[in-house]
Amino acid sequence: MRLESTPELEAFRRKVRSFVAEHAPGVKAHSGVRAPDPGLMPAIREWTAKLYEAGFLGIGWPAEYGGRPDAHPLEPFVVAEEIARARTWPPVGAASLASAALIDFGSTEQQARFLPRIRTCEDVWCQLFSEPEAGSDLAALRTRARREGEEFVVDGQKVWTTNGQHADMGYLLARTDGDAPKHKGITAFALDMRCPGVDIRPLREITGTTDFNEVFLDGVRIPAANVIGRVNDGWRVAMSSLGRERSGVAARGVELFAVLDDLLGLAEETPVGGRPGLDDSATRQAIGELAARVHVNAAMIGLAQSRMLHGTEQPADALLGKIFFSELNHDLADFGLRLQGTDGLLVEDDPEAVAGGWWQDAHLYSRAYTIAGGANEVLRTQVAERGLGMPREPRRPSPDPKA
């Protein structure tokens, strides 16, 4: 799954792998994009700062803030892959997203203020985009920010805020012009999460963990100097920063290969019809199909990387990659659970659960990937419209209540 590898890139990979083995803060207990226990955060902050200091994060940043503009463009993908291969913690929060916005649109003062604190992990960032009625349709957001002198006063609610409970700063989108068209009148802000009026409420999920949060904003005052880019130009800021967040895709491919290896080990140890699962032809056929899809996923990642390098990216690349990965990830976890038979019904903390209940947790969490970043149903429509050029379905008139 490695693209256009060179001796220099392979040497870089070996260097990263050695660094991760020496400094990583242990293996993650759960699959997916999960929030760590509070007690782990000091170690993760230290680990993240070391990655920046070693030149493995912020590679594409301006040189004056520690970036290496002459680096191979695939180096960030290599770092993401090696962290995923070690099954350890990647940087927690939305710092990569926020830094992209700050580098492309932030003022010199903002860059000097925020970027060094991201490098030292003094500031963990969270993403304050989604709302109860603005998830896949982000432009429908309702959180309002009104100007009062040199401040903006913000009222509203955000939801699905990963790591909000650990965040020092928030990358916030709020509507500043209610009369503007849907994708206009939105402004991007850097929000201090300790401001009065910020209320973070963890959401307990079906997995039993609290990775996401609701964030209520009640009269929160943000200095006008914290506007990222121009007022009412936040949609462009957000879409640009989202478009630059690519390296995590590489990690997803490595994660699926790791889960496939676990599935093979599970099949070797789990009896099917009184004999090892891999002796059963139906089990082998099912795992073979999943393995083929894992390799297809890797090929899709390689194609997307190649197009990125050559400036030939297609509108549907990221959409198709996300859909394919999320559904394959679910099917791998689902088969691992079904392979266990009735043992798959054991709860995660049951001492008899296979692998400590990892498969149960992975299966429950796998549904999150089909919604996060846009529900797959919505993304399929976007593939049809943006990738295939199909016409939009005309709106059907509302039924006449008198009819």
DSSP letter assigned to residue 400: -
Instruction: Report CA dihedral (178, 212, 97, 171) to the nearest 10 degrees.
Output: 40
Q: Which residues of 128-164 are buried (b: 16+ CB within 10 A; e: fewer)?
A: bbbbeebbbebeebebbbeeeeebbbbbbbbbbbbbb
Note if 245 is an active site residue: yes
Nearest 5°: CA angle at 356, between 352 and 357? 90
DSSP letter assigned to residue 290: H
CA–CA separation, 338 and 14 (whole Å)? 37
Residue among 205, 214, 245, 313 flagged as catalytic: 245
CA–CA separation, 146 and 140 (whole Å)? 17
354: Cα separation from own chain's centroid: 28
CA–CA separation, 149 and 1 (whole Å)? 53
Q: With the C-alpha atoms ordered 42, 62, 69, 304, is the resulting torsion angle positive or negative? A: positive
Residue 382 corresponds to which tokens in the numbers above?
A: 């976007």
Which residues are designated catalytic?
245
